[in-house]
Amino acid sequence: MVVYAILDGMPRPMPIDPKLGINARMASISATQAPTSQPGPDGRRDLKSLPKAHLHLHFTGSLDVPTLIELADAMGQSLPEELTDARAFTTPATTKGWFRFQRFYDIARHVVIGEAAMRTVVDTAARLDAADGSRRLEIQIDPNSYAPAVGGIINALDIVLDEAVTASRRYGVQIGVIVAASRLRHPIEARTLARLAARQAGQLPGDVVGFGLSNDEWAGDTTAWEGAFRIARNAGLPGVPHGGELRGPDHIRTVVAALHPARLGHGVRSAEDLRLLDDLVEQGIALEVCPSSNVSLSVYQTLADVPLRQLVDAGATVALGADDPLLFIDRLCDQYAIARDVMGFTDEQLAGLARSSIRASFAPDVDKAQWLAEVDAWLGS
Ligand SMILES: [Zn+2]
């Protein structure tokens, strides 16, 4: 069963899925109907107007269902129901489960063929992020995945960087790009990507702002990517590999020792080892926590099981992220609604999460200072 709600003047399908916290979802809808930083009658402020940074979002995964359908229609390509029914995708936290997730992601990716489609992805991500109160989006892409249709990885990256500049101006959200290698490709390719990324390194919209490593955390030997991350780091590009999502504390230690990350994609499973968590806090390694994704991929059974509160209480710098809203449906602001409605975060604590996301971004200090002041204004402090 799908319920439609009017959101920003548009009917948006709202799946009934108790596992993914429909209450949180409905709360986020009602929040959008009062676009003000003043507390509403229930004493709660509008989450969409809370300034924040979005640091964990994949390229094709950033699309929404209507835009994916438009792209597929334009190509005369049909899509499986799993990608069009606007229900959050779920799969077990096993290699087989990950393979299933990846299979649907790949089907969606095969709709993003060519320059126009790639530009549409960036534009859509920027538009939807801006609507969620994002001031800074750091979107990640493996250019190899889009290269064949545009004449190679250099062109693929250039298209994304160019559109990032345009979309940043159009929607008033800074878009930096994270070039991410895949664990399913040979580490030598990652070094090539790191050299390509290094040539475009910077902090501003349209720059490459970081270097990542994504896909099945069980695949490959993490230390084999050490060289690629060194190349990136030497060019001033901070490392943002995935880690501590499908695998636990031991693998987080390996990722930290080998790849020297500034932030960890997910890192939630550091909550299983308090000494490790303390180490991450001490080293200032931020965690990109994506609650909806964690439940969809069965890292945790329910949203209430995601240890967000524990991570924050331990002093971790946390940036909430949507990961792949095309499949998980919840977008950035929904993650804040989950923190509020499922985990009991107060407006002050939600403002703390927003500050944390801004601080963990790779934006210039002057911009961070401005957004932090806007968070204070949201709180009325
Ligand atoms: Zn991810």
For 251-305, how does the pLDDT look when each residue is reduced to its tens digit (9 = 90+)? 999 999 999 999 999 999 999 999 999 999 999 999 999 999 999 999 999 999 9
Cα 215 to middle of ligand 1, angstroms? 7
CA 60 to centroid of ligand 1, rounded, Å = 11
Report pLDDT digits (tens) over 141-167.
999 999 999 999 999 999 999 999 999
Q: How far apart are CA 328 and CA 64, in angstroms?
A: 10
Q: What spacing in Å lies between the alpha carbon of 131 and ligand 1's midpoint?
A: 21
Ordered domains of the chain (ranges, CATH): 47-368 (3.20.20.140)
Residue 199 Cα, ligand 1 centroid: separation in angstroms? Answer: 24
* Between residues 208 and 381, the one the model is more confident about: 208
Q: What is the pLDDT of residue 13?
A: 38
Which residues touch 20 (CB under 8 Å, ≥6 apart)?
A: 88, 292, 295, 296, 303, 329, 330
pLDDT at residue 1, rounded to an integer: 29
CA of residue 56 to ligand 1 center, whole Å? 6
The rounded Å distance from CA 92 to ligand 1 centre is: 16
Chain segment 205-249, per-residue pLDDT in tens: 999 999 999 988 888 899 999 999 999 999 999 999 999 998 999
Burial 328-358 (b: 16+ CB within 10 A, else e): bbbbbbbbbbbbbbbbebebeebbbbbbbbb
Quickly count: other Cβ atoms within 10 Å of residue 282's Cβ: 9
Q: Among the listed ranges 7-16, 95-104, 198-207, which one has the minimum average pLDDT value?
A: 7-16
pLDDT score for 381:
65
With vertex at residue 110, the alpha carbon angle to CA 59 and CA 291, rounded to the nearest 5 degrees, is 40
- Cα 221 to middle of ligand 1, angstroms: 18
Answer yes or no: is pLDDT of 26 > 50.
no
The yes-or-no verdict on residue 181 having pLDDT over 90 is yes
Q: Bridge-partner residues for 176, per DSSP?
A: 138
- The pLDDT tens digits for 90-147 are 888 777 888 888 888 999 999 999 999 999 999 999 999 999 999 999 999 999 999 9
> One of 138, 163, 217, 245 is an active-site residue; which one?
245
Is 245 a known active-site residue? yes
**Residue 16 pLDDT exceeds 80:** no
Q: What is the dihedral of CA 96, 106, 53, 116, to 10 degrees?
A: 180
Q: pLDDT digits over 79-98, tens only?
A: 998 899 888 888 887 778 88
Rounded distance from Cα 80 to ligand 1 centre (Å): 22
Cα of 61 to ligand 1 centre, how many Å? Answer: 9
Q: Which residues line ion ligand 1, judged by CB < 5 Å? A: 323
Confidence band of 198 (pLDDT split at 50, 70, 90):
very high
Q: Is the pLDDT of residue 32 over 70?
A: no
Residue 197 has pLDDT above 90, yes or no: yes
Strands in the chain per DSSP E:
2-7, 10-15, 52-58, 134-141, 174-182, 208-214, 239-243, 263-266, 286-289, 318-320
